[in-house]
Structure 1
Amino acid sequence: MADTLPTDEPPATLRRIGHVALITLNRPQVMNAVNAAMSVAVEAAVDEFAADPELRVGVLTGAGRAFSAGADLKEVAAGRPLITREQRERGFGGFLKRRLDKPVIAAVNGYAFGGGTELMLACDLAVMSDSAELGLPEVTRGIIAAGGGLLRLARRVPLAIALEATLTGAPITAESALHWGLVNRVVPQEKVLDEALALANVIAANAPLAVQASKRVIHQMLALGSDWEPAAWELSDAEAVTVMKTADAKEGPRAFAEKRKPSWEGR
């Protein structure tokens, strides 16, 4: 979709809320459909989040009534790219191929089809509006969900459910998404962002290096396939040794013994 109204607003923004980075897709006039300008803006916001040690958790949401309508199909029809040449290694939206150690929560405040669902799948956790829907309808347009949808959906839900969703292109309701563990919370639309930020703050209150190491082990373990593989234990043991050498690993037990909240240094 192309912009129907002129706007001076940036197509994506980053707002700092304590230790949380709130990244907002900001083309509400076209339901946050992704064009090249948005891809560049999201990439910049994600890079700023990743580089700042004071920002421990990210929350990705959409402005207005949609999370994201996915690819801007009017841009596609006009032959205009949705990412710049420099972003090919980062993928659609400047984010989908970006490996992040820090956790990211999707606050799915509304409609999220196609690339919108793929943006959600690129996040670690998700809070979804009870009136929102997800879906990968690409086959109904003669294309495939090449922005990670086909790669990630079957890791989050049973194979038969992933196949039905991708081969039919049918919508996934909030109720079904919660039932199959595709999202962590379903709440009324007006509470989505507050719930996502509350979850982010719970995570951000923990030792940041330990949180990042935990995320790495879980994701890399999925690639190894079995917790009986020696490589899996080598991975877990190596991360544990590294974390135990940090100042935060000393601060946690000390704070517990002194009956106070820990003061994390992130080192």
Structure 2
Amino acid sequence: MYQDILYEVRDHIALITLNRPQALNAFSGTLGEEWSDAYRRADADDEVRVVVVTGAGKAFCAGADMSGGAATFNSYEGGDFSAAALSTAAFEIRKPVIAAVNGSAVGLGLSLAVQADFRVLAEEGKYGFLQVRRGVVADAYIHWTLPRLIGTERANELLLTGRRISGSEAAAMGLALRVVPAAEVLNVAMELAREIASQCSPLAVAMTKRLLLQAATAPLPRVARLETHWLGQSMGTEDAIEGGTAYAEKRLPQWRSSINDNWPQAEVPPGDEA
């Protein structure tokens, strides 16, 4: 079905593998279309509770495909061009996304990893937003996501200097949940994915992710209304009953709610749409 990625679902986890190892998984138009489609596919499939994204070979993603040389960023003609890169971002889908960054990720490759809810980075990898050293502005919502992840000053440092950093530097900056040897990256990411998929209500997790996105730019009084609204939507659901019962019976919960069938019709409180 896909040319530049691999997609498989196992134990409620969708594994997306960027599959251009000969080009260090450099971002191409086809890769972007397929990656976006894979996110939408995972979001629509109730069998999927968590998404893990990794790269084939020794790199995660070497950024934009520079094989065109000087023509890579030669002109901007408008039209359908978008700096978003993916038509569906990781933070837009309802399932948690874990970036298993198995090797170097630079430029757009790192921007797309930052969109994920969690990042596990390889100690041996090199990371950086190199765009200013290529004469262009960074992309994929990085000016929104990065300051929220690591703070304004550190985001300034990375985006304005375009310098590469090591895995240990990335860890010190808060750019990753975990930094481990490259050989362990996928295993660590999958362990986290399995914990979420088995222990946590997929519906409650999806609702919490959406609440976090809405709350990111909302003032405190609106966050209070949103939190109350989403809590009210989650109470009384099949998973809410099962979660309490499983806890009392000291067993693993058997989640049955459907994210698609049981998703709240209103994502914000009535009268609070603005």
Q: Structure 2 vs 1, CA of residues 14 and 129 (structure 1 numbering), >3 Å: closer, same or farther?
A: same
Q: Tell me which residue corresponds to 2:267.
A: none
What SS does structure 2 have at the residue aligned with 1:155?
A: helix
Check whether the contact 1:136–1:166 (CA below 8 A) recurs between aligned residues.
yes
Pairing partner for 1:213 from 184, 203, 207:
207
- Please give the residue correspondences for 1:108-147 in structure 2 after superposition, counting only pairs within 5 Å: 108-147=101-140
How far 1:152 moved relative to its partner? 1.4
Q: Determine the structure 2 residue equivalent to 1:171.
A: 164
Relative to structure 2, which stretch is displaced further, 90-99 or 47-56? Answer: 90-99
Is 1:238 aligned to 2:232, yes or no? no
Aligned to 1:13: 6
> How far apart, in 1, do the equivalents of 2:86 and 2:128 lie?
17
Name 1:35's counterpart in structure 2: 28
Q: What is the DSSP-based 3-state SS (H/G/I as helix, E as strand, rest coil) of the residue aligned with 2:95?
A: coil
Contact 2:5 2:18 in 1 (8 A): yes
In structure 2, the residue corresponding to 1:74 is in which secondary structure? coil
Matches within 5 A, 1:238-257: 238-257=229-248
Unaligned runs of 5+ in 2: 259-274
> What residue identity is the alignment partner of 1:210?
A
Structure 2 distance, partners of 1:71, 1:90, is 12
For 1:127, what is the secondary structure of its paired residue? strand
**Structure 1 87/125 Cα, relative in aligned 2: closer, same or farther at 3 Å?**
farther
| Aligned length, in residue pairs | 254
TM-aligned CA distance change 1:172 to 1:94, over 3 Å: farther
User: What TM-score does the superposition give when structure 1 sets the normalisation length?
Assistant: 0.88
| 2:153 matches 1:160 | yes
For 2:141, the equivalent position in structure 1 comes to: 148
Structure 2 counterpart of 1:251, which letter?
E
* Displacement of 1:88: 5.8
For the residues of structure 2 that align with 1:56 and 1:86, how far apart are their CA atoms? 36
- Residue segments in structure 1 that go unaligned for 5+ positions in a row: 1-7
Cross-structure match for 2:261: none
Task: Tell me how large the CA RMSD over aligned residues is.
Answer: 2.4
CA distance in 1, matches of 2:212, 2:203: 14
1:58 to 51, 56, 80: 51
Report SS of the residue matched to 2:98.
Answer: strand
| Superposed CA offset, 1:108-164 (max 9, x none) | 001100011111111010001111122111111110102222221111112111111
Deviations 1:163-192 (A, max 9, x none): 111111001221122122210001111010
Q: In the alignment, which of 220, 224, 246 is matched to residue 218 of structure 2?
A: 224
Match of 2:92 in 1: 99
Going from structure 1 to structure 2, the CA distance change for 1:88 and 1:45 (only over 3 Å counts) comes to farther
Contact kept? 1:90, 1:97, Cα under 8 Å = no
Measure, in 1, the Cα distance between the counterparts of 2:232 and 2:82: 32
